Amino acid sequence: MANRNEGEGNRTAAKEYNTAQQAFIRAGKVPPAAERAKQAINSAEKIELEKAEAIGRKPAAPTEKKSADY
């Protein structure tokens, strides 16, 4: 793992993510995960999942004020 800040488009993080995803697929974990997701959507958990999705779709709150906002 690189110790320097690569900023947006961090190639090291992207490579690590892609490697992990490929390992997940090669390990045969996709079909069981898909089945668990299907069961969750077709259960009482659906409401909780929809709430989480709505929260995830909200725009992020601003973290800094610009000097023009003072």
Place of tokens 């909200």: 58
pLDDT given at position 67:
63
pLDDT digits (tens, 9 = 90+) for 6-64: 877 889 999 999 999 999 999 999 999 999 999 999 999 999 999 999 999 999 888 77
Look up residue 4 and give its amino acid: R
pLDDT given at position 49:
95
Q: What are the residue ranges spanned by the domains of the chain?
A: 29-57
This prediction has a pTM of 0.60
DSSP letters for 28-52: T-HHHHHHHHHHHHTSTHHHHHHHH
